[in-house]
Amino acid sequence: MRRLLVLGAGTAGTMAVNKLRPRLARDEWRITVVDSSDTHHYQPGYLFIPFGIYRPDEVSKPLRRFIPTGVDLVSGEIDLVEPERQVVRLADGTELPYDYLIIATGTTPRPEQSEGMAGSEWRRSIHEFYTYEGAVALAEKLKTWEGGRLVVQIVEMPIKCPVAPLEFTFLADAFFTEQGMRDRVDLTYVTPLEGAFTKPVASRYLGDMLEDRRVALEADFLLERVDPAARTLISYDEREIPFDLLVTVPVNMGADYVARSGLGNELNYVPVDKQTLLSRAHDTIFAIGDASDIPASKAGSVAHFSMETFTENFARHVEGRQMIHRFDGHANCFIETGHGKGLLIDFNYETEPLPGTYPLPGVGPFSLLKETELNHWGKVLFRWMYWNVLLPGKQLPLPALMSMAGKQRVPS
């Protein structure tokens, strides 16, 4: 029997085992997936918990439910990969040998990477919504917060779902308006980028939307440290931003075992070929989802769109055939903008988000870079799609690679 070992049963790892199990003959391949958690979280739902739109129990399900029959699930903390021996060691000492390894252990926020962040004010005046616990704690905080200076801040790129902090800001504006206390909240959006977003056209649209909502934009802000006593953010160029409530997106990093195993870059992401997801260093290792260093958004949609080319290529690679399919970095993100509306962006490695309609030219029904109610319903429906279509590895009636159909070219 040949052994395929998948590290991580989150979005990408779960989709991969569901796609690969039917592709790899059961009498030839044993597939094992390892995860330290017994719960699968729908992370896009974390955004809605602070505002009471989702209850915490609406974003979690038992992880085992999504692992298909014919795949072994091992519960444990991954401690080390030994690529030369083709063995993975767990924290309890168990050794799992493999012929092929897929790394899918994602990325997590690391507040301890910024001086002053994870100290005395953590979960008091300094909050985050990138973890389940953080989103729940922030919901509690917002129930009694009486207003003041609310600063939404990104420490450093890349982060998973780079639009989520903008969505949080739009939803905060709507939430405080609906609570009748918007006048008592001074909202500031702080980013290390030059503008509201990574790509010029979308950055212009999203920057205008911040302005319309009376949100101050503090761009090019590279955080040096947080002064928790003074409740102030301090940048390397000595700008200071005071806050009463800070909602931060801390530095995001891949799993620590990746670094210990000598498999990662400085942020513990695995360097791979951006079209095939094969490790640059090892012919038997792939990295999928947020765990890799591909220059695409770290998003569930990217993990999903990459899965088609990845599984085709994987099946060819293990048979000694050339990998002929090329992933293009396709990302597709609904951006919740508050008051029952949303925006949609669709882009890839080469093409930035452009206005237009999606997926059909003229017809849509979704609008690109335009606020509509239908885009909001797209985001709402996405949760159902996630549990019922994407995770089980079912086919979506949408092309996996980005299409220019419906997109309008505009100058950057």
Burial of 236 (0-12, 13-18, 19+ CB in 10 A): exposed
Minimum gap (Å) between residue 236 Cβ and ligand FAD: 26
Strands (E), 140-231: 148-154, 185-190, 216-218, 223-227
Give the 3-state secondary structure of residue 138: helix
| φ/ψ (deg, to 5) at 74 | -110, 130
Supply the Cα-derived Rg of the chain in whole angstroms. 21
> Between 11 and 337, whose beta carbon lies closer to ligand FAD?
11
Give the 3-state secondary structure of residue 246: strand
> Between 362 and 384, whose beta carbon lies closer to ligand FAD?
384
> Between 213 and 298, whose beta carbon lies closer to ligand FAD?
298
> Between 234 and 307, whose beta carbon lies closer to ligand FAD?
307
> Between 24 and 104, whose beta carbon lies closer to ligand FAD?
104
Is 335 within 8 Å of 163 (Cβ atoms)? yes
| φ/ψ (deg, to 5) at 347 | -160, 175
Is 48 within 8 Å of 92 (Cβ atoms)? no
The total of other beta-carbon atoms located within 10 Å of residue 282's CB is 15
> Between 37 and 94, whose beta carbon lies closer to ligand FAD?
37
User: Which residues lie below 8 Å from residue 333, measured CB to CB, with a gap of 6+?
Assistant: 161, 163, 297, 299, 301, 344, 345
**Tell me, what DSSP letter sits at residue 190?**
E
The total of other beta-carbon atoms located within 10 Å of residue 326's CB is 12
Minimum gap (Å) between residue 379 Cβ and ligand FAD: 7
Minimum gap (Å) between residue 168 Cβ and ligand FAD: 8
- In angstroms, how far is CA 355 from the centroid of its own chain? 23
Minimum gap (Å) between residue 44 Cβ and ligand FAD: 3
> Between 214 and 262, whose beta carbon lies closer to ligand FAD?
262
Minimum gap (Å) between residue 332 Cβ and ligand FAD: 7
Instruction: Give me the residue whose beta carbon is nearest to ligand FAD.
Output: 10
Q: Which residues bind ligand FAD (CB under 6 A)?
A: 8-13, 34-37, 43-44, 46-47, 77-78, 104-106, 129-130, 160-161, 164, 255, 257, 289-291, 298-301, 303, 333
Minimum gap (Å) between residue 27 Cβ and ligand FAD: 28
Minimum gap (Å) between residue 283 Cβ and ligand FAD: 22
